[in-house]
Amino acid sequence: MAYRQPDFHPIPSFYGKKLPMPRLEADVFECELEGIIPEELNGSLYRLGPDTQFPTLGDEDNVINGDGHMMKWRIQDGHVDYKSRYIRTERFKAEREARRRLFGVYRNPYTDDPSVADMPDRDNTGNTFAWWFNERLFALREDSHPHEIDPVTLETLDRFNFDGDLKSSALSAHGKIDPVTGEWWAFGLFSERKNIGEISLIVGDKDLNLTREETFIAPIPGMMHDFAVTREHVIFDVQPWTVDNERIKAGGPFYAYDPSLPSYWGIMPREGSVNEIRWFKAPKVHVGHIMNAYTEGSTVVLDAAVCEGNSFPFIKDINGNATDPNDGFGYITRLTFDLAGTSDEPKVTSSGHIGEMPRIDDRFAMSKHRYGYFRSLDGISRIDWETGETRSYDLKGASVAHEGIFVPRTPDAPEGDGYLLSVVNHYDTNRGELLVLDATTVDVIARAKIPFSPCFTFHGSWAPNAG
């Protein structure tokens, strides 16, 4: 295979919007403020996303293969400071030393430069979720072990594997924190790196001791980016973006979309075994991100962003063809699984609202929730599942909002009483800002501005009184 170093820096597209790739590590002391930061907001908003430091090798690459870049918005006593740093993975350090791109397309070592052949951690870009857990900060990436990050300096520390107890080669980018027990629930997709559908259920206690690890084989070797946990059940969702080892060896993409397959939903008792998983099928229900789930009697209710087709336009179908982008819009949707019934399909009820990156008031995770928050086409929205009402803040001009993070006004405030924090890129001015919204009205309270447009981020956490 020939290795080509492009003479340009590619700018990827995500949800139809152009993304900046600034390659900039920055400190902004005393961000310009418009409005007044509420006195209750003291802590740090951590965000993590992809920011490729060198152009890709080859043409078939995508945004999720970018190097991890974490940002911190430190809010204290009405002031906001900004800091961003790359995650210093082994992959990042090797390319920085070589001063060029060494690694090829997403999760395909057969497309790498020969100088890094057989590098054991080649996929670990640390680019997906800035995860705050029990006063510690981690950079999560679903196909690898996370890196711990210094919450003050954003320095990359050691990789984390539950003190060597974790057998799975992967720890999911989307975990779930139990607000009652403090546990970290996660999974490992392709946990043995066989790519045959092997998945591990992983649980750590609040003190980061590994308490549970069980492995099973899913019905298909498909993508599972997120999952759900209720007080009584665990829900695994396996999507029809499938893996074929022969395709990978031929230099092809890791994932390919198979429109002939449904998504598969495995539900097991939380205190049971993976041997008790019951599989449901959901045709034309494709999910990347889940808002929350809860159990009512023999029914499991799950809210997610659902699309009928391929929601990842950079992933082609199994025949190598591009898919219709109009089928890839996600709608905020409720799936209802009847565990006492005989049907192997859930009930699907769409809210009618286009949206992605769904979140909730995390104090109500794993239990029945009323409010959900999501990125809408033009900004940030809140849905009231009790009334069906949706409220939105719409951006103006060529702008895009990152995922909205809910922060309660006080630790014991009612559900939904607090603030939404969202980073915004303004492409017409090449500037960025942190929006502080009232979570009830979704009106702007304050803006903290920086003099450049930061890298786009996938997921993040609020860390109260930290940073």
For residue range 22-71, what is the model confidence (pLDDT) as tens digits? Answer: 789 999 999 999 999 999 999 999 999 999 888 777 666 777 899 999 99
| pTM to 2 decimal places | 0.94
Domains by residue range for the chain, with CATH: 13-464 (2.130.10)
Structure tokens at 269: 């008792």
d(CA 339, CA 158): 42
pLDDT one-digit tens code per residue, 285-311: 999 999 999 999 999 999 999 999 998
- Residue 12, pLDDT > 80, answer no
Give me the pLDDT at residue 21, please.
55
Residues whose CB falls within 8 Å of the CB of residue 170, separated by 6 or more in sequence, listed in order: 142, 143, 144, 145, 188, 189, 190, 191, 200
- Residue 17, pLDDT > 70, answer no
pLDDT one-digit tens code per residue, 243-262: 999 999 999 999 999 999 99
Residues whose CB falls within 8 Å of the CB of residue 199, separated by 6 or more in sequence, listed in order: 187, 188, 189, 190, 191, 215, 216, 217, 218, 224, 236, 238
Give me the pLDDT at residue 346, please.
98
Using 50, 70 and 90 to split pLDDT, how confident is the model at 18?
very low
Give me the pLDDT at residue 416, please.
97
pLDDT one-digit tens code per residue, 203-214: 999 999 999 999
Give me the pLDDT at residue 62, please.
79
pLDDT one-digit tens code per residue, 63-119: 789 999 999 999 999 999 999 999 999 999 999 999 999 999 999 999 999 999 989
b vs e for 177-196, b when ≥16 Cβ sit within 10 Å of the residue's Cβ? bbeeeebbbbbbbbbeeebe
